Amino acid sequence: MNPVMNSALLDPDRLFPAESSSRQIARSLYREVADLPIISPHGHTQAGWFARNEPFPDPATLFVQPDHYIFRMLYSQGVSMDDLEIGQPVIRDPRKVWRLFASHYYLFRGTPTRVWLDFAFSTLFGMEKRLSPETADEYFDAISEKLRTPEYLPRALYDRFHIEVLSTTDSPVDSLADHKAIRDSGWKARIVPAFRPDPVVDPEFAGFAERIAQMGQQTGEDTSTWKGYLNALVKARARFKAMGCTSTDHGHPSAQTADLPEAEAAALFSKVLGGKASLQEQELFRAQMLTEMARMSVEDGLVMQIHPGSVRNHNKFVYERYGRDMGADIPRAVNYVDALRPLLDRFGNERDLTIVLFMLDESTISRELAPLAGHYPCLRLGPPWWFHDSPEGMMRFRELATETAGFYNTVGFNDDTRAFLSIPARHDVARRIDCAFLARLVAERRLDEDEAHEVARDLAYGLVKKAYKL
């Protein structure tokens, strides 16, 4: 697949500087990185797609159902999730859902979602007209026809996208059966799990105690004790690592860390496991567990990702009716400087530890995150994430982070998506924005062009491969 291709939906100079000399430099930089392999170290695609390698059923199931960027926008404008059949195991009337989506496509004007969707519609399915109520059936039929062909099976698309590594995100009690099936199939693609311990370290997670008991059964440890619980986590991480895992992933409400004496930590664990902990004690437990996870990463080498600052499932009605991760997560302010200090006092100077910090609070980039990553050997900055993985968010990140952290204390880009077909589009946007930023530095005589070419390759490919040990 060649993301440079022309189409009626895609301008070849999209996202490049409007000024002609800078635009010419950006074009030159982009030509060098456009076709580099994609490394996707953090995302939420399903290993089962590739294990079974079955056709995607229809356009609505492929584009609308898994993508909360889409249905949260429609919901905000009064479209019922029931009408979109969100949360249903099988969409009963996919054409109806698709027509409803198409009739509201105008809502995505100016959003990154529009850029990603137009990219997929054009480069993958050859669509030349804009999606609208008038073209909805044309889109549905054309996409449906292609999905029935071998070239559009999940594994074929993986190869077509030129993906080198794809990481899923998995519960510590997941059997990893789909990952094992991929490995046993002989297919040479590298699809690896990431260790997401939230279900067994966050007391507010539904089924928290039950998940811990399950982890004890899987590992042969007595997880009713603090020591047994920690041993079980070590064994669970080792099981993931044996399946190719190189990273852990921590989606805590805050970046708070703690370093309690062992007796106090054990007493806190007993209280939390028994369901008797206050909200403050639950937060203290999560804080302690971030430090425990950093200790384990020093020992087993797994890269640690911390992405705090989302108030999860903010809409009580939606959560109770449809479950988790239904587009009702809202960013809030985060303190990194004070919150991370207990962890950094203990492990901040470890050269062999890598902790990737993400933000949803842009005010922290130049004030806290870039200075922290620009000093501590273990810290790196994750890319603009979630609500900020937009052209504007990516550009602001480069402007705010580079002056203090430079380029080499960042880790390139990750797509963080459940929507498989958006992966090439998201990486294409990131590469174009980085080339636009570098072109400006060259035009302003702040960076030599040969250096800009080297940095562009590092941002698109080299840094992420190094940071995530891939």
Contact status, residue 384 vs residue 394, Cβ threshold 8 Å = yes
> Which ranges in the chain are annotated with CATH 3.20.20.140?
163-467
Query: Residue length, the chain?
Result: 470
Q: Compute the CA torsion angle 457, 460, 465, 468 (nearest 10 deg).
A: 140
Q: What is the CATH number of domain 163-467?
A: 3.20.20.140
Residue 292's pLDDT band (boundaries 50, 70, 90)?
Answer: very high
User: Which tokens belong to 196?
Assistant: 């997401």
Helices 136-147 and 112-125 pack at an angle, to 10 degrees, of: 60
Residue 322's pLDDT band (boundaries 50, 70, 90)?
Answer: confident
> Which ranges in the chain are annotated with CATH 1.10.2020.10?
56-152
Strands (E), 173-223: 190-192
Contact status, residue 267 vs residue 250, Cβ threshold 8 Å = no
CATH number, domain 56-152, options 3.40.630.40, 1.20.1270.30, 1.10.150.120, 1.10.2020.10: 1.10.2020.10
What's the whole-number average pLDDT of the chain?
96
Neighbour count for residue 99 (Cβ, 10 Å): 17
Q: Is the pLDDT of residue 329 over 50?
A: yes
Q: Is the pLDDT of residue 5 over 80?
A: no
Residue 4's pLDDT band (boundaries 50, 70, 90)?
Answer: very low
**Nearest Cα to Cα of residue 164 among 331, 451, 412:** 412
Instruction: Give residue 66's pLDDT.
Output: 87
Instruction: Give residue 317's pLDDT.
Output: 86
Helices 449-457 and 423-443 pack at an angle, to 10 degrees, of: 160
pTM of the model: 0.95
One DSSP character per residue, 390-456 reads: SHHHHHHHHHHHHHHHTTTTB-------S-GGGHHHHHHHHHHHHHHHHHHHHHTTSS-HHHHHHHH
Instruction: Give residue 220's pLDDT.
Output: 98
Alpha carbon distance 81, 19 (integer Å): 43
Give percent of the chain above pLDDT 70.
98
Q: Is the pLDDT of residue 77 over 90?
A: yes
Strands 379-381 and 355-357: parallel
Half-sphere exposure of 81 (CA within 13 A, CB side): 22
> Which range (317-326, 361-370, 436-445) has the least confidence?
317-326
370 contacts: CB under 8 Å, gap ≥ 6: 381, 400, 401, 403, 404, 405, 409
Q: Is the pLDDT of residue 2 over 50?
A: no
Q: Helix, strand, or coil here: 35?
A: coil
Instruction: Give residue 6's pLDDT.
Output: 42
Per residue in 223-277, pLDDT (tens digit) is 999 999 999 999 999 999 999 999 999 999 999 999 999 999 999 999 999 999 9
Instruction: Give residue 7's pLDDT.
Output: 58
